[in-house]
Amino acid sequence: MHLETNKKIGSPIGIFDSGYGGLTILEEIKKTLPTYDYIYLGDNARTPYGTRSFDVVYKYTLQCVKKLFEMGCQLVILACNTASAKALRTIQQRDLPLLDPQRRVLGVIRPTVEIIDSKTVTKHVGLLATTGTVQSDSYPIEIHKLYPHIQVASEACPMWVPLIENNEHKNDGADYFVKKNIENILKISPQMDTLILGCTHYPLLMDKIVAFLPSNIQVISQGVLVANSLSDYLQRHPEMKQRCSTNGTVQYFTTESEAKFASAASVFISKNICAHHIDLNE
């Protein structure tokens, strides 16, 4: 399939996540780049991706990227660490040249990794992420490409996304899981001074994370990093910048029901969001 290249009118930047977590990234992107048009696509009907196999995450992510391309996006951000870890490289290297070599798909891991050496003094860094992201080893691989001297300890937190998606993250029950995962990573890496939240859902647990973490450890969440990186990317790629439309609009699409999206999304960003249902097979 070769896609028709869209004109500047109606070429929003696509923001994709398996669910609602990418909304935290989109909020930061909008603050940094308010004039662009955006389409958010949440594959809420098939979330979570974090416990799924490589093949399934790749297949689902590619389907969503194609849908965003069909909707006119020239540039798509995978605002999901699991999709960035398991699908981004294959999409960039194998699918894009066939679909449309001029379009771009970017992830959230690289922008996070790039700043890490400037944050850590001990050169011991921790990663909290979904099981899929941890098993992919994407973070240690990407960190070591840039900074081979940094030690990375990883801890999968499989209960955190379900707690957040079910709006249980502020309740006492969540304390047990947050405390357990933080204690585990501190045991693996007592010298850690920097902790990456490698899942776009996790900023919602920030209060509890900080409460269970020694005060000398700084927490890195991704929204601002991804927003700055996108701004930088558009500066460095005027040909892409020119193709992205700038009417300041945001449209939200979900593979789940519109009513479910509206009530769950308000947990992530304190706003009423009206999303449109989308069928990926149409």
State which residue, 17 or 245, has the beta carbon closest to ligand DGL.
Answer: 17
State which residue, 51 or 191, has the beta carbon closest to ligand DGL.
Answer: 51
Compute the half-sphere exposure of residue 79: CA atoms within 13 Å on the CB side of its CA. Answer: 36
Task: Provide the H-helix boundaries in the chain.
Answer: 22-32, 54-70, 81-86, 88-90, 96-99, 109-114, 116-119, 131-136, 138-146, 160-165, 173-188, 206-212, 223-236, 238-243, 258-268
SS (H, E, C) 1-16: CCCCCCCCCCCCEEEE
Active site residue 80: yes
Return all residues near 265 (Cβ < 8 A) that are at least 6 apart.
Answer: 20, 23, 252, 271, 273, 275
**Shortest gap between Cβ of 79 and ligand DGL (angstroms)?**
7
Binding site for ligand DGL (CB under 6 A): 17-19, 21, 47-50, 80-82, 130, 133, 161, 199-201
Q: Angle formed by the axes of helices 22-32 and 223-236, to 10°?
A: 50
Pick the catalytic residue from 64, 80, 157, 244.
Answer: 80
Return all residues near 232 (Cβ < 8 A) that are at least 6 apart.
Answer: none
Q: What letter would DSSP give residue 92?
A: I
State which residue, 68 or 244, has the beta carbon closest to ligand DGL.
Answer: 68
State which residue, 75 or 108, has the beta carbon closest to ligand DGL.
Answer: 108
Measured from each CB, the residue nearest to ligand DGL is: 50
Pick the catalytic residue from 73, 157, 199, 244.
Answer: 199
| Residues carrying an active site annotation | 80, 199
